[in-house]
Amino acid sequence: MTCKHVVIAEDNCVLLDVIRFNLSRAGYQVTAAQNGSEAWNVIQSQGADLLITDCQMPELSGLELCEKIRSDKSLCNLPILFCTAKGFEISQSVLNELRLPQIICKPFSPRELVMRVDELLQPTEAIY
């Protein structure tokens, strides 16, 4: 099994380090970005198997980053785990439009994070 590449876009350096540590320990290759623009550049240059993005970041927000990814033909099917602070409202229509079925609310436990990432990166079985 090849090591899955997870890109994290998070402007809180402490949380970014915690996420990176826990996913690395779980066996994932992790690239950290401190804003949406950095994450976009990493995804374009290195590719990714999954994006974990914060909602509110400088330069390019998580929603703007998701819009760019969904409008790019080569990246539009990239799984995304969207992080948001409790109480931050995002309309269901926006979530549906950006195909964001997985949202994780801060604060979250490292165990919950790894479980969500594992779920998103499990191979789907073909139905015949």
Domain count for the chain, please give it.
1
Q: Report phi then psi at 80, rounded to 5.
A: -130, 130
Task: Quote the pTM value.
Answer: 0.88
Report yes or no on 128 lying in a domain: no
Report yes or no on 41 lying in a domain: yes
What are the pLDDT digits (tens) for 71-105? Answer: 999 999 999 999 888 656 677 777 777 777 778 88
3-state secondary structure of 81: strand
pLDDT band at 126 (very low <50, low <70, confident <90, very high): very low
Q: Report phi then psi at 106, rounded to 5.
A: -80, 140
**39's tokens:** 């994450």
Report yes or no on 83 lying in a domain: yes
Asked if residues 62 and 53 have their Cβ atoms less than 8 Å apart, the reply is yes
Chain centre distance of CA 73: 18
What are the pLDDT digits (tens) for 37-69? Answer: 999 999 999 999 999 999 888 889 999 999 999
Structural domain including 64 reads 5-121
CATH number of the structural domain spanning residue 39: 3.40.50.2300
